[in-house]
Structure 1
C-alpha cells in the first residue's frame, strides 16, 4: 500500500510539474522535450534532492522511484520510435529521394565519420564510438520542424533541405539500433560476426513483420472502425505499437526497433493521420516520462565539478556539426544563405541520442560518467536550438546581404494542394477534376468503407474526422491552395468550416450545401463560397431551356449567372459576407 501511494504521489508530482512547466515552455517557443528533461533535473536527486535534508517536506516534491519511472519511460521510448516511423511516409521519401539520399546521406555519413574519429581519440572503445558517433550526427526533427513551421519556411529551399536531411536520419534509426544491439550482446572476439548475425536477424524480422503487417493490419483496422467504437480503435493502435515492440524484444532485438517498424506499417495505411491525432495525448505524457528519466539521470555534481569540460564539449560538438554541414551543403551546391542557416539549425543533437546512450549504457558499452557527459551536452545543444534559430534567421541575411538572390525551389509534395473534407459523390467529382488538371489533393473521409474501397481503387485518401484541427494541420491545410468541404453531415460541415476559418483566416474555403438553410450556416461559419446543389441543378436546367427556345448561349449563361448571384446574395447575413 505504501509503495502504491508513493508511486501515485510521484505521478501527481510529475503531472503537476508538467502543467506548470510546459505552458511556460510553449510561451517561450521552446520544445517540450527540454521542459521534460528540466523537470527530471529539477525534481531528481541532482536538483531539489540536494537540499532535501535542509528543507523539511521538500521530499514530497521529489521523484525518487527510478524503477517505476524506468518502466513508464520504456513505453515512452516505444511511442517515440512509433511516431518516427509513422512520420516516415514511403511516398514522401520517394518524392524527395534525390535530396534525401544525396544531401541527407552525405550529411549523415560525413558527420558520423568525423564523430567516430573524435570519440576514438577521446578514448571510447570502437563499438561505443560507432553507435554514439552515428547518433550524434542526428538532429532533433521535432525542434527543427517546429522552428521552420513557426516562420512558414517548411516549403522553402531551406525547409526542404532540412527535411531531406531529417528524413534520412530517420531511416538510419534501424541500422543504429541493430548495431547497438549487436555490439551490446557481442563477445570480445566476435563483434564482427555478431554484427552480421544481428543484421541478418533484423532483416528477417523486418521482412516478416512488414509482410504480415501489410496483409493483416489494414483489414484489422477496417473491422474495428466498422464497429464505431473509438476506444477499440485506440486499443488496436496501442496493441500494434506495443505488441510489435514486445515481439521484436522476444526474438532478441530491441523494443525500439519493433516500435519503429509498427510506425512504418501504419504510415502506409489511410489511418495514419487520425492515429497520430488520437494518440497525441498518450504519446505526449509517456514521452514526457521518458525525457524526465533522462533528466533524472543527469548528474549535476559532475557538471559542477567540471564545468569547462561540459561546456567545452558542447561548443566543440556544435562547431564540428556546423562545419561539416557547411562543407556538405557547399559540395551539393546550396546557396550561401541556405548553407549558413541550415548548419545552424541542424547543429544541435537529437532525442534519439538519449535512446542510444541509454541502450549503450545498459549493455555496458558506456560508463555512467561518459553517458552523463553526452546527455548533458546533447540536452544543452537542444536547449540552445531556439536561440540559435533566431540568430540564424536575423544574422545570416545581414552577413550575406550582397549575395545574389537564388530562385526558390518549385512547389513539391503537398504545397499548393487542395484539401477535400468529405469524399462522397461530390467530393470525388471535385477530386477527379483537380487530378485531371494536375493539382494534387489531400482527401479525408470519416466513412471507413468508402475510404477502403477508394484505396483499393488506387486513390490516395485518408480516414478521419476533419473537424479535428490537428488532423487538418497534418493534411497541410495551412499550406493548401484551398479547402473544399463536401461532407453530408450539415452540422459537421459547418464545424469544419468554422475550425478552418479560425485557424487560417486567409484560406479559400469552398463548401457544398444541401439547402438554403445549410448554405446560410456555411456562409456564417466562414465559407468563402457556397455551392447550393438544388440551385445549381435548376440553373443548369434553366440554361438548357433558354438555349432550346432560341436565346443565344452567351446571353442564357449571363441570365443564369445573374440569377445565381441574386439567390446566393439573399443567403448572406445582413451585415456580413
Structure 2
C-alpha cells in the first residue's frame, strides 16, 4: 500500500536540500553563500523545477531571519557605542539616502517612468539589502571595523526611512489626500508608543525575567524566551507601523549590556542562520523569469541604470565625507543593489494604485537581479582593488634598544616580559597588532609597532644591542620566519622561542634556537600535577610522576628528532613509576568562593 507524504515535509526537505547542495558549491567557487541561496531558490522555484508555487508565503516567514539578524547585531551595539555613531547614522546615512533617492528618481524618469512612479521606483532601489550587506560584512569580518560601522549606520538610517516613505505613498495615492492631519498625528503617536513600550520592556522587564528563568535551570525555556523577545519586539514595532527589523535591533541594543547577552546570542544563532538562508532562497524563488523574458529590455535598463547611478552617488557621497578611494568604491559596489524593503514599498504602491501591476513586476525583478549581482560585483572588486595594507603606526623606535628584544606582546609575551622587568632588565617589545599596542599603552607598557619578520625593523628595534631575543609570536609560520631571518643575519644571537607543537619544536631545534617551549607544555604539566593532588595523590608522588613524564617527553622528542618513532604507550610500559591506588581527599567544605590572595607589592595587574 502506498504511503502518502505530507507536502510540508517534502517542501522542507527540498528547501534544506537546495541550500545544503548549493551553498558549499558556490562558496567553493568563491561566489559566496548569498548567491548560492539565490541560485538554489531560482532552481526550485515556480520558474525552475516548480517545487514551489507561492514563494511569497515563504518570504513572509523567512523575513524573520532578517529580524533575528538585526537582533544579533543589536546585541553587539551597546547604547554608548550607538550614541557614538549618531553622526554617521543621521548625517552620513541621511546624506546618502537623499543623494541616492534624487539620482535614482532621475534615472527612473530617464527610463520613461512618470515622476511619481520614478520616485517610488528610485526610493525603493535606494533602500539597500540589509540581509545581503550584513551577511557579506560578517563573512569578511568587517562589521567591527570603522568602515563596517559606517556601513551599519547607513543601513540603520535606510531601515528607518521606510516609515516616512510608506507615509508618502499613502499621501500621494489616489484618494490618499483624504487622510486628515489627525490621522497622521495618530499614526505618529502609535509609532512613538511602540518604541516606548520596547524601550521600557528592555530596560525594566527583560533582565529580571531572564534571572527568574535562569534560576529555573530550564535551557529550553531560556531559548523560548530569547525567541519571544525577538518576535515580541518585532511584533510591537510592526503594530506601531514601524519596521520589524528595527524593533528587533532596538531590543538587541537594550540587552547588549545584559549579563545574558552571550546566552541570548547563542540561543538565537541557529534560528537566525536557517531563516536568513530561507529568506535568500525565497527571494530567488520570487524572481519572475516570465516577466524578465517578456520585458527584458526595460528590466535590463532598470538594473543597469539604477545600479550605476546609485553606485556613483554613493561613491561621491563617500568621497565628499572624506572616505578613501578603496572604502568609497567598496561601499558603492556593496550598496548598489536594491533591498528587501523595496518589495514592501512596491507592494504598498501597487495596492494604492500608484504602480501598475506590470511595472511592479518589472521593478521587483530588477531589484532581485541587482541583489543577485552584488556578490559577483564584490568578487570582481577584489581583483580591481589592491590588497589592503595592514594598519601602520608612525614609529621611529626612539628609545628602543635594550638587553632583551621581545617579539610578540600577546598573552604569552606579556607574562614572560614580567620576569625580565622584575629583574630591572631593559626590554624592547614589538608587535604588529595596533589594538593590542593601544591596550598595552593604557597599562603603562611601551610596545613598538613593527613586523618582526623584517630585518630592517629588527635592526631599528635594537637587535644588535640585545643579549637575548625572545620570540613570543602566536603563529607558527611567523615564528619560523622570524627565527630564519635572525639566524641568517645574526647566527650567534641567543634565541628563546615559543613553539606551537611537537613538530614545530623539532623544526626549531634543527634551526639552532637556544631554548624552546611549547606554548601549552608548562601549563598542562602544572594542571595535570594539580589535578592529581586534587584527587588525593600525595604531593611528592604527583611531583615524581611529573618528573618522570618530563623525562619521557624529552626522550621521545629526541628519538623523533633523530627520525625514529616511539609512542607514549611504549614508554609507559617501561615506566619507572608504578601506578598507585587513589586516596580520596577529605571534603571539608562545599564553599568555593574563597578570596584571592592579595597580589605582591608592585605586581602588575590587568594582563592575562
**Interval of TM-score (by shorter of Structure 1 and Structure 2):** 0.5 to 0.7
1:72 pairs with one of 56, 61, 76: 61
2:300 pairs with one of 311, 320, 332: 311
Deviations 1:309-336 (A, max 9, x none): 2222111122112211222123223333
SS at structure 2 position matched to 1:48:
coil
Q: Hey, what does 2:442 align to over in structure 1?
A: 438
State the distance in 1 between where 2:352 and 2:552 align.
69
1:167 pairs with one of 134, 153, 170: 153
**How many residues are treated as equivalent by the alignment?**
435
State the distance in 2 between where 1:243 and 1:24 align.
36
State the distance in 1 between where 2:356 and 2:374 align.
27
Q: Hey, what does 1:188 align to over in structure 2?
A: 176
**Runs of 5+ in structure 1 lacking a partner?**
50-61, 411-415, 420-433, 441-500, 510-522, 536-565
- Give the deviation of 1:14 after TM superposition: 1.4
State the distance in 2 between where 1:205 and 1:15 align.
36
Q: TM-score, normalised by structure 2?
A: 0.58
State the distance in 2 between where 1:235 and 1:525 align.
44
Deviations 1:471-518 (A, max 9, x none): xxxxxxxxxxxxxxxxxxxxxxxxxxxxxx999999x99xxxxxxxxx
Q: Hey, what does 1:542 align to over in structure 2?
A: none
Q: Hey, what does 2:271 align to over in structure 1?
A: 282
Structure 1 pair 283–367 and aligned structure 2 pair: CA distance change class (3 A): farther
- Give the deviation of 1:281 after TM superposition: 2.0
Structure 1 pair 134–338 and aligned structure 2 pair: CA distance change class (3 A): same
Q: Hey, what does 1:345 align to over in structure 2?
A: 334
State the distance in 2 between where 1:233 and 1:417 align.
40
Structure 1 pair 275–258 and aligned structure 2 pair: CA distance change class (3 A): same
State the distance in 1 between where 2:261 and 2:9 align.
33
Structure 1 pair 215–388 and aligned structure 2 pair: CA distance change class (3 A): same
Deviations 1:243-294 (A, max 9, x none): 2333344556565554444334334534344433332221222233333333
Q: Hey, what does 1:18 align to over in structure 2?
A: 19
- Give the deviation of 1:171 after TM superposition: 3.5
Contact 1:326 1:343 in 2 (8 A): yes
- Give the deviation of 1:308 after TM superposition: 2.0
Range moving further from structure 2, 96-105 or 20-29: 96-105
Contact 2:68 2:230 in 1 (8 A): yes
Contact 1:360 1:366 in 2 (8 A): yes
- Give the deviation of 1:11 after TM superposition: 1.7
Which structure 2 residues correspond to residues 292-441 of structure 1 after superposition, within 5 A? Answer: 292-357=281-346, 366-397=355-386, 438=442
Report the structure number with the largest CA radius of gyration: 2
**Runs of 5+ in structure 2 lacking a partner?**
395-407, 412-437, 445-473, 480-496, 499-515, 529-545, 561-608
Q: Hey, what does 1:46 align to over in structure 2?
A: 47
- Give the deviation of 1:216 after TM superposition: 0.6
- Give the deviation of 1:437 after TM superposition: 5.4
Structure 1 pair 176–34 and aligned structure 2 pair: CA distance change class (3 A): same
Q: Does 2:216 correspond to 1:227?
A: yes
Q: Hey, what does 2:433 align to over in structure 1?
A: none
- Give the deviation of 1:223 after TM superposition: 2.2
Structure 1 pair 530–572 and aligned structure 2 pair: CA distance change class (3 A): farther
Higher helix share: 1
State the distance in 2 between where 1:406 and 1:435 align.
18
State the distance in 2 between where 1:439 and 1:350 align.
45
Contact 1:137 1:349 in 2 (8 A): yes
Q: Hey, what does 1:263 align to over in structure 2?
A: 252
Range moving further from structure 2, 334-343 or 303-312: 334-343
State the distance in 2 between where 1:572 and 1:107 align.
67
